[in-house]
Amino acid sequence: MLRKLLTQTSSRRLLSSGIPPLFSKSSISPFSSLSSSPEPPSSESTTVEHPGTTISVDRSSLYTPPDHSHESTPETELVKHLKSIIKFRGGPISVAEYMEEVLTNPKAGFYMNRDVFGAQGDFITSPEVSQMFGEMIGVWTVCLWEQMGRPERVNLVELGPGRGTLMADLLRGTSKFRNFTESLHIHLVECSPALQKLQHQNLKCIDESSLEKKVISSLAGTPVHWHATLEEVPSGVPTLIIAHEFYDALPVHQFQKSSRGWCEKMVDVGEDSKFHFVLSPQPTPAALYLMKRCTWATPEEREKLEHVEISPKSMDLTQEMAKRIGSDGGGALIIDYGMNEIISDSLQAIRKHKFVNILDDPGSADLSAYVDFPSIKHSAEEASENVSVHGPMTQSQFLGSLGINFRVDALLQNCNDEQAESLRAGYWQLVGDGEAPFWEGPDEQTPIGMGTRYLAMTIVNKNQGIPAPFQ
C-alpha cells in the first residue's frame, strides 16, 4: 500500500513555476535581537548551488530592509487600539497579548484579511514549496488509520490550514484509497474569513445545501467544516489532527532575569509615542507557567538561562488534543520549527520575506516564535495517561522515512525539464540541511532548507502502538 501511495502520478499538482522561493520562516535565527535598533549583520552573501542552478542569498538587508523606516507615519487602527488597551490598563501589556492582537485582531490582524503566504506574500511554508509535502502527510494519515483498525468514521482536523494547500494535496494523494477518504470528515480550524475563502476555493468545495450548510470537497467527496477553535470540533469519534506551522504563531510570554529575579517582558508606549519593551516591576500571572516550565528543565539548563519564552496557549492546546485522543482514539502530528529544549529568546517578525522590528507597524508583519517541543510532550503526558508522545525527529528524517525519495523519483518520470528542476529544488528545500534516508543525490549537491530546522512530533492513543515513522 505504501509503495502504491508513493508511485501514483495521476491527478497530481505538479509545480511548474520554476524554483520555489528559498526564504521561509524557518530561515531565521532563533536568537535574533528584540531591541528597537538591532545591529545589522555583515553584508556578506552565500552562494548555494543546485544542479544546473546557482542561487545567491544576500543577507545584507535582513535586519535593515529598504522599506523599513522609523519616520512618523499616520497611526493605523490597530496601533490606536493597542495604545488604548495600554492606556485603559494604566500600564504595559504582555508580549503575548501584543502578539495575539497583532496576528488575530478581528479587524486589523495580520492573518485576518489577506493572503500572506507564498512568494507574493510575506513567507513561504512547506506545502507551498512542493506538492510532495502534503502527499507525505497523506501517507502518514493513511498508515495511522490502518493502525487504528480502519475506523468507518474519522475526524481529520487541520489547525491553521493557510491556503488549504496541504489538505488539498493530502486528498489528491489519497483519493484512490476510497475506504479511507469515505471515512473522513474534514474540520478546518481557521479564524480568518479571508483564508477560509481561499481554503474553500483550493479544496474545490461545493455547497450542496444552503439550509444544512453542507459543504463537500470535490477532490475526494469528503464533507468539510470550519471552526474557530478545536473545542468546536465534534468529539466522540477517532480524530487525526495536523498542526503544521500552527504552534509557532501562538502567543508567547517572555521573561528576563534581572536583579529583582525573573521579570516578564512587557510592551508599553514611551514618551515618544512609540512602542517599547519594559520589564514588569512585580510577578505577573504568567509567572506561574514560568515556574511550571522550569521544573521540566535540568538544573544545568536553568542555571545558564537569562531569558525564557513560554507559551501557555500551546500548553492548553496540547492538553485539549491529548484528552481528545486519549478518550476517542487517533493521533496528532505536529511539525514546526523549534527546539528540543527550553526556548530562550526567539520571537521574530517577517514582512515581505525580510526581518523587521517586532514593534514596528504592528499588523503588517508576521510574528512567530520557536516551538518548545519538550513543553508539548510534558503537557500531553500530564493531560492523559492514555496517550504516548514520540519524537521529535527532524523533518528530513520524517519525510525521508515515509518515502519522499521514492515519490520524487516517480514524479520525475512524468514531467518536463522545467517541472523536474522545480521538483528537485522543492525536494532539497524540504529535506536540506539534513540527510533523508535512502536518497542518493549528486555528490556535489549542497542541501539547504527546512530539513533540520523543522521538527516532527506525534501524540497518539497508547492502544494504537507507535506510528510510522517513529518506531
* Ramachandran sector of residue 316 (left: φ over 0; alpha: ψ -120 to 50; beta: rest): alpha
Domain ranges of the chain: 2-24+123-247+314-343+370-464
Instruction: Say if CB 121 and CB 115 are below 8 A apart.
Output: yes
Instruction: Say if CB 302 and CB 115 are below 8 A apart.
Output: no
Mean pLDDT, consecutive 10-residue stretches, the chain (471 aa), reads: 52 40 41 36 40 37 40 79 93 96 89 66 77 96 97 97 95 94 97 92 85 84 96 97 96 93 94 94 87 80 87 96 98 96 90 86 91 96 97 96 94 91 90 56 52 95 95 87
Three-state DSSP class for 307?
Answer: strand
Nearest to 157 by CA among 245, 244, 241, 246: 241
Predicted local confidence at residue 311, as pLDDT: 95
Q: Is the dihedral of CA 244, 20, 421, 443 positive or negative?
A: negative
Give domain 2-24+123-247+314-343+370-464's CATH superfamily: Vaccinia Virus protein VP39 (3.40.50.150)
Nearest to 341 by CA among 387, 319, 308, 367: 308
CA pair distance 418, 193, nearest whole angstrom: 35
Predicted local confidence at residue 272, as pLDDT: 92
Predicted local confidence at residue 1, as pLDDT: 59
CA pair distance 252, 254, nearest whole angstrom: 6
Residue type, 240: L
Rounded mean pLDDT of the chain?
82
The C-alpha cell at 56 is 545567491
CA pair distance 294, 297, nearest whole angstrom: 5
CA pair distance 339, 335, nearest whole angstrom: 11
